[in-house]
Amino acid sequence: MKNVACALTIAGTDPSGGAGIHADLKTFQELKTYGMSVITSIVSQNTTGVQAVSHVSLEMIEQQLDSIISDMPIHAFKTGMIANQDMMKLIYNKIKHLDAPYVMDPVMVATSGDTLIERDSRNYLRKNLLPLTTIVTPNIPETEYLIGEKVETDEDMKQAAEMLVKNFGAKAALVKGGHREGDAVDFLYDGSRIHSFSAPRINTNNTHGTGCTYAAAITANLSQGLPLNIAVKQAKHYVTLAIKYSLDLGAGSGPTNHWAPRIHTNNLTTTEVE
């Protein structure tokens, strides 16, 4: 079977399985996409927070990238945690030649509030990596960090999405509203117009890895050739189900459920039979 969508994630680990490359690969698999990964950092984390971080050597990151790029098809790729400027420079030089959609999840702060990126890396990310992206997917704290301004209202979110495209060079920007009150509303600016994606807020603390999962779903959808707005729409549906059927594991913010669509479908089937 040769005609299979292939997606690459470049990110850090999560031994508890809820975020990072673990969430990405689970999402790829669930969305019928062959997943590949390059590990940038070994992160000791769980549902309660980040306990320690050890960065993979630049040589090993380069070797991982070369192993995949030289041998495997890449139909879309995403980056997550890229902790410092040296990593960013290396990854930039490797991915700038790839002819595939690039989804940037600018992982800077974990759900627990722990910082995951060195502060002096922001300018390099904005100047060099953002212009390569097909879409960047920051939450509100990450958006504020990227643009250097407060984001509090729907209008702020829309303006921030436009700013990430017009001022920083991203082809599209999805500013996610999960940190706000009320319905979870996200705004996508695709370079010409604003699209909104809304879902009812789900009353749960189990949101570990939602950003990774959302971006990975967009990546999987793009790898299959879907148009950007459809890729985002379907990813929004996927992550909403993953939160709805989230897993009550661990002592902190539990993980989302990457096989949630199967549970949802089974529930619908059972209801119809009854």
Percentage of the chain lying above the pLDDT 90 cut:
85
- End-to-end CA gap in the chain: 38
Q: How many CA atoms lie within 13 A of 30 on its CB side?
A: 25
At 15 the three-state DSSP class reads coil
HEC readout, 158-214: HHHHHHHHHCCCCCCEEEECCCCCCCEEEEEECCCCEEEEEECCCCCCCCECHHHHH
Region of 113 (left: φ > 0; alpha: ψ -120 to 50; beta: rest) is: left
DSSP assignment of 204-245 equals: -S--BTHHHHHHHHHHHHHHTT--HHHHHHHHHHHHHHHHHT
User: Could you tell me the sign of the dihedral formed by the alpha carbons of 150, 151, 155, 160, in that order?
Assistant: positive
Question: Letter for the amino acid at 176?
Answer: K
Q: For residues 178 and 208, what is the distance between their CA atoms, to the nearest angstrom? A: 12
Residue with tokens 């040296």: 86
Q: Helix and strand tally (H, E) in the chain?
A: 9, 10
Highest CATH level, class, for 6-273: alpha beta
Q: Residue 272: what pLDDT? A: 39
Q: For residues 62 and 79, what is the distance between their CA atoms, to the nearest angstrom? A: 14
Q: Residue 121: what pLDDT? A: 86
Q: Residue 265: what pLDDT? A: 76
Q: Which residues are catalytic?
A: 176, 207, 209-212
Reference 18, options 175, 212, 168; nearest CA is 212
Q: Residue 273: what pLDDT? A: 35
Q: Residue 16: what pLDDT? A: 98
Q: Residue 271: what pLDDT? A: 39
Residue numbers in the chain where pLDDT is lower than 70: 109-116, 268-274
Q: Residue 108: what pLDDT? A: 77
Q: Residue 270: what pLDDT? A: 40
Question: Letter for the amino acid at 4?
Answer: V
